[in-house]
Amino acid sequence: MTIIASWNVNSVRARIDNITAWLDETKPDIALLQEIKVQTDSFPQEPFDTLGYNLAVLGQKSYNGVAILSKAPIHDVMEGLPGDDSDEQARYLEAEINGFRVATIYLPNGNPPGSADEHSEKYSYKLNWMKRLRDRVETLLADDVPFILGGDYNVIPAEEDAADIKAWLNDALYLPPTRQAFRSLLNLGLTDAFRAINQAAGQYTFWDYQAGAWQRDNGIRIDHFLLSPAMTDRLQNCWIDRKPRGEPKASDHTPILVEIAD
């Protein structure tokens, strides 16, 4: 049995005590982090060493940045999403652990989206990034390697994934092209692990810092695990741990976890 967590921590340095306390209590075998907001060589390695984790880090100054923590050895690390050599944003890191491939994903936000006739530069980047992710998934499927892609997708898949969907109708997280691109990933044969286990509305992974969103449970479900067919066959459970969002100095995201059978 393997427990894998994904958590957009909104700065690994500002959140180090929250993160280490949660890891020490929850003890996931693998943790995928996003928005570490630090360059690779400044990543705080020592507290994770102490907890028994191996590390793979793809950092960037100030923004973005992703990391994989794993109690088992990490092999064959791939830094960055293929398909655009000019893309310098640190949003994708993939490796082999325990015989499967695992990626930590920080999909672009995309706001402001621009108009329907002319998407903004940021929204175009998001949609192109999703196309590159689809291409990567097609390669992994063709190679017949089991895989799990976890992270902050910045996609609200359906109206039941937001407390107030009207607030998101014209947002890059929910616009039709965004949901269409997310569905096209699923249509390749991937499974949204959370929805395979839990069909309830009102299951969120993000609450804005503003306007008492957490206290009012005004959230959205945007952090996801997508599993290849072979990994879906091994899926035992998937759940959201709301507790870290209520702690002092919390990230605006909370962790999502999957349990995979051996």
- Which residues sit at the interface with DNA, rule CB under 7 A? 8, 10-11, 13-15, 35, 37-38, 61-63, 108-109, 111-112, 122, 152, 154, 173, 206, 208-212, 220, 222, 249, 252-253
- In the block, which residue shows the tokens 């107030």? 164
Residue closer to DNA by CB (options 56, 173) is 173
Q: Which is nearer to DNA, 170 or 198 (CB)?
A: 170
Q: Which is nearer to DNA, 92 or 206 (CB)?
A: 206
- CB closer to DNA, 252 vs 259: 252
Q: Give the nearest distance from C-beta 136 to DNA in angstroms.
A: 20
Burial (Cβ within 10 Å: 0-12, 13-18, ≥19) of residue 55: middle
Backbone angles phi, psi at 65, to 5 degrees: 95, 135
User: To the nearest whole angstrom, how small is the minimum distance from the Cβ of residue 160 to DNA?
Assistant: 16
Residue 44, φ and ψ in degrees, nearest 5: -75, 90
Nearer to DNA, 5 or 222 (CB): 222
Shortest distance in whole angstroms from residue 70 CB to DNA: 23
Q: In the complex, what is the shortest distance from the CB of residue 240 to DNA, in angstroms, rounded to a whole number?
A: 15
H-helix or E-strand spanning residue 21: helix 16-26
Comparing CB distances to DNA, the nearer of 200 and 248 is 248
Smallest separation (angstroms) from DNA to the CB of 157: 13
Minimum distance from residue 14 beta carbon to DNA (Å)? 4
Sort strands 147-152 and 100-106 into parallel, antiparallel or unpaired.
parallel
Least distance from DNA to the Cβ atom of residue 195, Å: 19
End-to-end CA distance of the chain: 5
> Which CB contacts under 8 angstroms, 24+ apart, belong to 59-63?
59/90, 60/88, 60/89, 60/90, 62/37, 63/35, 63/37, 63/89
Q: H or E segment at 45?
A: helix 45-50
Query: Among residues 63 and 198, whose Cβ is nearest to DNA?
Result: 63
Alpha carbon 68 to its chain centroid, in Å, reads 11
**DSSP output for 154-197:** ----SGGGBSSGGGGTTSTTTSHHHHHHHHHHHTTT-EEHHHHH
Asked if residue 157 lies in contact with residue 179, where contact means CB atoms within 8 angstroms, the answer is: yes
